[in-house]
Chains A and B, each alone.
Chain A
Amino acid sequence: MAATAHPAHSMTVRGLKPFYAKRQAVQAVDLDVRAHEILALIGPSGCGKSTVLRCLNRMHETIPYAHAEGSVKLDDLDIYQAGIDATLVRRKIGMVFQMPIALRTRSIYENIAVGLRLGGMNDRLELDRRVEQALRSANLWDEVKDKLQLSGLALSGGQQQRLSIARTIAIEPAVILFDEPCSALDPISTLKIEELLLQLRERYTLVIVTHNMQQAARISDRTAVFMVERGQEQPVGLLVEEGSTEQIFSKPRDRRTEEYISGKVG
């Protein structure tokens, strides 16, 4: 499945504990993200799956008083070890958000170029080439090639989400994290994004948080199921099961997974 032409990057999560101030939001997580796979994180609201995702590229700590403990390795490098620059981590591990976001004051072209410029690229021809490449990779080029100077807000929601993806892949990350990328989109736009994710798997390693179990079943190779424990004074999320998507949906090992999949909880 993995195209050998593209470098293979994997992630290893060990004992990851996300905190909001003093409150631990999720019990220690151990998780493996294999090269050129789509790993889906599913679970009911409040189970901490988005929080865990945001720990994978150190976006979690941009929230005031939030921090994470434990180790998250990209290949062999622990991104939480001392001396690592979080801004560089985020350029290697990109993120696409739930809301399709066009930077309001920028044109379609500049929405893509902004990340390249941040990396110090100023050559106009090189920028043109990379912007086109990114838009082609996001299946958006044909729809926007004649209006690159228009505002990103002139695009539909689905197009803006592919614009967000193009912006992320323009800087050639190793891994891309998706935080419910389709939950604000209509079914047709959702389908286009899902097709795109399957294409991107050839080149990148993908992690996707989704509310939509059918979506996880359709596109992911492996699935991690999160639950929320409400017994304590503060509800705490926990990872209950991780396995191939086929196994998770056909013969889950954990009773809670089975109840969630069959719609009894969550």
Chain B
Amino acid sequence: MANIQATSPKPTGWAHRLQHGDLFFWLLTLFFALVIIGLVVAVGVVTYNGSAEARAEYGTSFLTQSDWNPIETDLYQPSYGAWPAIRGTLLSSLIALLLAAPTGIAIGIFLSELCPLRLRALLGFTVELLAAIPSVIYGLWGVAVFSPWFTNAIANPLATSIGQFIPWLAGPIAVSRGLAVTGVILAIMILPTIAAITRDVLQAVPNHQRDVMLALGSTRWEVIWLSVLPYSRAGIIGGVMLGLGRALGETMAATMLIGNSTRIEESIFYPATTAAALVASELPNSNSTMHESALIYLALVLFGITLILNLAARYLVWQTSRGPAGARA
């Protein structure tokens, strides 16, 4: 100690920190971190201000009113209710989540735990490639290939059989655009995200957590079910939520496939709309300042929905990852 003090004059305060670049680097990274918060606030402020006219007119009843009619005629005043778009957003994302979460988690489990090493790299690369396909291509494929097939092979048989008793599966199906087919395409789009994150999270589980279970005479399945999945629960939920976020905000594929109808139909095989699809299709040619304001209000609502769902996911992760009391993270 004495030696160090004797040979180097003790630098003080700012000069010392600047000399080592620490302070500069700290400020630089802090600045970029604050940019993130600034962006979130800016999006909130812009949508809040832009929607002032619609908020003054409709208030919170905007959320529950189900007529969206921007056309002004001699007989009708335009009216703006967000419920059809909110309902379509939530339902199409729910369908996507119900299909993609179990499938994606299963793919992740296979890639991490069961796949032969030689096949793993190839399959993993393909999954990541799927995540990188632009959504317009999914939409195009959905319109040209998938939705006609879906209508013939799945929607129509369902609608003409059990659909006669269950209203939300009812027909007759006139066009091959609708809520259900959009949900399925959204599921395909978010599947690689969920699969890739599940795989990464499972591969981060230390091998000794597996070895202990194997040494107790577990089968591979018991190792996965009793040790690996509980260990990585929080991360898997995070991956599913990331997928859900993508489904909620997906615009292009939804616009191409959902039929863009603001009428509320009970059957999921009928055309509907989502918040993102409605904003994207109407904002560029809005009829009036009120129309524009209502669309921005709708964007604000979508922003709110994603925010609330993400907070709920955080809470869920926090709840499930605690485990038994006394664990040191």
List residues of A whose CB falls within 8 A of some B CB: 57, 59, 62, 64-65, 87-91, 94-95, 97, 99, 101, 103-108, 110, 114-115, 118-119, 147, 149-154, 164, 167-168, 171
Q: How far is the CB of B298 from chain A (nearest CB, A)?
A: 42
Cα distance A65–B216 in the bound complex, in angstroms: 21
Q: Is the beta-carbon distance between B226 and A114 smaller than 8 angstroms?
A: yes
Residues on B with beta carbons closer than 8 Å to the beta carbon of A59: 211, 214-215
Residues on A with beta carbons closer than 8 Å to the beta carbon of B325: 149-151, 154
Interface size band for B = 20 to 34
Residues on A with beta carbons closer than 8 Å to the beta carbon of B216: 90-91, 94, 114-115, 118, 167-168, 171
Cα distance A57–B216 in the bound complex, in angstroms: 11
Other-chain residue from A90, A107, A167 in contact with B324 (beta carbon distance below 8 A): A107
Other-chain residue from B208, B215, B218 in contact with A99 (beta carbon distance below 8 A): B208
Other-chain residue from A57, A87, A88, A103 in contact with B209 (beta carbon distance below 8 A): A103
Residues on A with beta carbons closer than 8 Å to the beta carbon of B217: 87-91, 115, 118-119, 171
Query: With A87-B217, A115-B217 in contact, is A97–B324 under 8 Å at CB?
Result: no
Q: For chain B residues 181-226, which have a beta carbon within 8 Å of chain A?
A: 208-209, 211-219, 222, 226
Question: B323 near A: Cβ within 8 Å?
Answer: yes
Q: Is the beta-carbon distance between B212 and A101 smaller than 8 angstroms?
A: yes
Cα distance A29–B325 in the bound complex, in angstroms: 46
Q: Is the beta-carbon distance between B326 and A105 smaller than 8 angstroms?
A: no
Other-chain residue from A65, A152, A153, A168 in contact with B215 (beta carbon distance below 8 A): A168
Taking CB as reference atom, which chain B residue is nearest A111? B212
Question: B117 near A: Cβ within 8 Å?
Answer: yes
- Of B208, B217, B233, most A-chain CB atoms within 10 Å: B217
Other-chain residue from A65, A87, A105, A118 in contact with B230 (beta carbon distance below 8 A): A105
What would 20 more interface pairs be, CB under 8 Å, given A119-B217, A151-B325?
A59-B211, A59-B214, A90-B216, A97-B208, A99-B208, A101-B211, A104-B209, A104-B327, A106-B230, A107-B324, A114-B216, A115-B216, A115-B217, A118-B218, A150-B325, A153-B326, A164-B212, A167-B216, A168-B215, A171-B217
Question: B231 near A: Cβ within 8 Å?
Answer: yes
A-B contact pairs, 23 of them (CB 8 A): A59-B215, A62-B214, A64-B116, A90-B215, A91-B216, A94-B215, A94-B216, A95-B211, A95-B215, A97-B208, A97-B212, A101-B211, A103-B209, A104-B230, A108-B324, A114-B226, A115-B216, A150-B324, A151-B324, A154-B325, A154-B326, A154-B328, A164-B212
Residues on B with beta carbons closer than 8 Å to the beta carbon of A150: 324-326
Cα distance A110–B216 in the bound complex, in angstroms: 13
Question: B261 near A: Cβ within 8 Å?
Answer: no
Question: B47 near A: Cβ within 8 Å?
Answer: no
Other-chain residue from B211, B218, B324 in contact with A106 (beta carbon distance below 8 A): B324
Q: How far is the CB of A189 from chain B (nearest CB, A)?
A: 17
Other-chain residue from A57, A91, A147, A168 in contact with B326 (beta carbon distance below 8 A): A147
Q: How far is the CB of B328 from chain A (nearest CB, A)?
A: 6
Taking CB as reference atom, which chain B residue is nearest A87? B217
Residues on A with beta carbons closer than 8 Å to the beta carbon of B214: 59, 62, 90
Q: How far is the CB of A27 from chain B (nearest CB, A)?
A: 26
Residues on A with beta carbons closer than 8 Å to the beta carbon of B211: 59, 62, 95, 97, 101
Residues on A with beta carbons closer than 8 Å to the beta carbon of B79: none
Q: How far is the CB of B112 from chain A (nearest CB, A)?
A: 12
Question: B306 near A: Cβ within 8 Å?
Answer: no
Cα distance A141–B22 in the bound complex, in angstroms: 50
B85-129 vs A, Cβ < 8 Å mask (1 yes, 0 no): 000000000000000000000000000000011000000000000
Cα distance A60–B209 in the bound complex, in angstroms: 16
Question: B135 near A: Cβ within 8 Å?
Answer: no
Residues on B with beta carbons closer than 8 Å to the beta carbon of A95: 211, 215
Q: How far is the CB of A182 from chain B (nearest CB, A)?
A: 16
Residues on B with beta carbons closer than 8 Å to the beta carbon of A97: 208, 211-212, 215
Taking CB as reference atom, which chain A residue is nearest B230? A105
Residues on A with beta carbons closer than 8 Å to the beta carbon of B226: 114, 118
Q: Which 6 A-B pairs have the closest CB atoms?
A: A154-B326, A151-B327, A150-B326, A91-B217, A105-B230, A151-B324
Query: With A115-B216, A118-B217 in contact, is A101–B326 under 8 Å at CB?
Result: no
Residues on B with beta carbons closer than 8 Å to the beta carbon of A91: 216-217
Question: B310 near A: Cβ within 8 Å?
Answer: no
Other-chain residue from B219, B233, B327 in contact with A87 (beta carbon distance below 8 A): B219
Taking CB as reference atom, which chain A residue is nearest B325? A150
Cα distance A210–B211 in the bound complex, in angstroms: 19
Q: How far is the CB of B217 from chain A (nearest CB, A)?
A: 4
Residues on B with beta carbons closer than 8 Å to the beta carbon of A115: 216-217
Cα distance A96–B208 in the bound complex, in angstroms: 11
